[in-house]
Amino acid sequence: PEARPRVWVSQPLFGDIIAGLDEHFEVDDTREVTAWSPAQVARKLADADGALVTLNERVGAAEIADAPRLRAVANVGVGYDNLDVAALRARDIVATNTPDVLTETTADMGFALLMAAARRITEGERWLRDGRWTQWSFDTLLGHDVHSTTLGILGMGRIGQGIARRGALGFGMRVLYHNRSRLPDRIERNSRAAWVDLDTLLRAADHLVLVLPYSAATRHLIDAAALAKMKPTATLTNIARGGLVDEDALADALSAGRLAAAALDVFEGEPAVNPRLLALRNVVLTPHVGSASLATRRAMATLAVDNLVAALGRGPRAGDPPT
């Protein structure tokens, strides 16, 4: 009988969902959260036909150089800057990601972080737990309003549009966005958002949210010069990728009072966090959990499994009518 294709699953996902692969493949799964080195990734891919990977695993030319059978890499996540798509394409290896299923959950988190930064929520909690609340006072932890202010969105894909809707419909915000290309009228209308150039966005936003893909072209897009254009009362929220922001420049702006607060779910050297950010009180820090609701993580794992099965020719392709 024909040997079954082999697939590698790089991190523990949900056992019952990953079990769906057993029907089609020999599965080399991972039971404990593991920090795979590039050499270990290469070894795992060496005899695999497919792989299910996360943002932790970089899959580029070096990792696939000795993987002659590899035909598909399914990323569990919408961002795929961990994949060298050009290198994969050059070898005819299919790459997939998990858009849509995480849009609303991640937009929720973006808004939660924005509000936490503006209203100093985590700072207030630390202050209270430290036993510093001795009496109610009029000027304790004064923050900045969210309602009726200007929301700036940098990167207007699905998640950006979800944040725009929350801001406009739920909080009466004026919504401006910047994107490489202006979106069709219909999407602008649905999102209640108006396109502006980057400079205008930086200067006008009371709350700026980053939701754009990371690449060499967007690395440190928010640098000292960009931060200098922002209002000193503004907040910056990043739920995309840490490398979009020059973290030292951000720490400078926050400590000098040139920016009110920041909320960061992503970091350039994850899981390491710039110690200067850790030392600041006006930064909300979360460990890359934008899409981390139980239902959404299950949906992401399910979609990634379906993508891998389809890419290896074992099931209906995404979008095919059910039979």
What residue is closest to ligand DGY based on CB? Answer: 77
Interface characters, 87-116, with ligand DGY (x: CB under 6 A): ---------------x--------------
Q: Residue 227, exposed/middle/buried by CB under 10 A (0-12, 13-18, 19+)?
A: buried
Q: How many residues bind ligand DGY (CB under 6 A)?
A: 7
Q: Is 146 in the site for ligand DGY (CB under 6 A)?
A: no
Q: Based on the residue annotation, tell me whether 241 is a catalytic residue of this protein.
A: yes
Of the two residues 28 and 270, which places its CB atom closer to ligand DGY in the complex?
A: 270
Reply yes or no on whether 288 is catalytic.
yes
Active-site annotation holder among 24, 71, 120, 241: 241
The region of 23-31, 72-80, 111-119, 131-139 touching ligand DGY under the rule CB under 6 A is 72-80
Among 161, 218, 237, 291, binds ligand DGY (CB under 6 A): 291
Catalytic one of 165, 270, 276, 314 = 270
- Token match 């523990």: residue? 12
Tell me if 162 contacts ligand DGY by CB under 6 A. Answer: no
Query: How many of the other CB atoms lie within 10 Å of CB of 102?
Result: 23
- Asked if 9 interacts with ligand DGY (CB under 6 A), we say no
Where on the phi/psi map is residue 255: left (φ > 0), alpha (ψ -120 to 50), or beta? alpha
Under a CB-based contact definition with an 8 Å cutoff, are residues 91 and 62 in contact? no
The answer to the question of residue 52 lying near ligand DGY (CB under 6 A) is no
Q: Looking at 11-19, 73-81, 113-121, 279-287, which segment touches ligand DGY (CB under 6 A)? A: 73-81
Whether 178 is catalytic: no
Of 50, 77, 143, 155, the one binding ligand DGY (CB under 6 A) is 77
Tell how far CA 160 is from the center of its chain: 11
Q: Which of 5, 20, 50, 79 binds ligand DGY (CB under 6 A)?
A: 79
Q: Which residues are catalytic?
A: 241, 270, 288
Tell me which residues touch ligand DGY (CB under 6 A): 55, 77-79, 102, 290-291
